[in-house]
Structure 1
């Protein structure tokens, strides 16, 4: 057993597979809600089983698709941690070679857009876990970070990527949780069927857990937060005249199937119709 920061070790493992992914024209990324986790773990298990599993995923993933690896959560009772792996654009749930070849506990689900979610449980021994959930959530509502997030959401971030950068800069578990939510939502932004249920599956959380945490951090329900990201992204697209997208195309790109619904939601959020916003805020008028 090795005793060190497993997050850094996992980053190194994923990075070592980057060249293989590039050769297959596949995008491979690693995201963690924690920066440090000092624990005892078996490198041989990760090297032999996790790496083998990831190599198979890369092999079966179509060109130009994405393999996203998330360090998800700890299970202190059975001393396991979860890795959630999302493959965009393909249903790999029936490729039995993937799960039969591994000795790890693997749960497999497919979303309606054919993206596949693998949840792997890997054993470890927790030596130190810096976040104590019950105490943290008792304190969080009075934290400057929470208050700042709430104020900024109230005034609406001008660009969603600023919100993502802001969360990363805070380097807290709460900020990184929202960063991960943003990443998943923006990945499926074009899909009008993307729902809170699909977000909870991608986050490997129950709807109740997701609702409580998103509501705690943003003062919004998950469905309201997804809508905010859709509309903020639409606002960005409307500001870029070089894209030459009409209102219908922007509406479609952010997951609306009804232009009238999009226009009503946009006006309710920003106080102006999309067409008027475009004419007054496009780059060509700056």
Structure 2
């Protein structure tokens, strides 16, 4: 991973992550700042594609020592892995992001904001799709100078996942009742090295059918994609309706569902 662009506020290091996680209270001994009830992205995994910016929300509760102004007690959430929290925040072994945060002038304060992830600048390895740790940098300022800095940990872990897509094409259209219908498609997922969607080889997907005039899809069979991510199977045409491919999330990749392809059965 590499450092990302600065946004409208502070730059931080970390990862995307999810899993509704309400963190325990962590206190910085030197700064006296405490952080508790940290929640990221309402408990959903962060799914990242190849170009669209992703901005997961976060919220936490903060307290700071009496006699310290609110603006001088800073807390910067970040995400990191495979290293210490300090190196994750300060170095290139975290994903650097910026965020906007709001809080009151009174302690305790409820803080809210969002992390900023641009895959074009902050992700350069598909191995970044993994478990990350959550940290908070705590800093006290005095007279415009940094007085003390600490890195709070113990907030649990979150995951970042590669976005996925799936297409569908049922043919021939129209088709005679009782004849063979071929349903094809392709599963792809974000490649953060090449910055494009590439085949998700070996992934299994459900072929589903929804009869015209109904609202529920039913799974007909499960098919495994080839090494290039291609799906293909045959079924017997019996009624007008919609065909689609769908699959769920894995540890590294998000799920996807194709829009239904309508087939007229004569």
**TM-score (structure 2 length as normaliser):** 0.26
Select the structure that is richer in strand: 2
Q: Name the structure, 1 or 2, with higher relative contact order (CA <8 Å, separation 6+).
A: 2
**TM-score (structure 1 length as normaliser):** 0.25
Greater gyration radius: 2
Select the structure that is richer in helix: 1
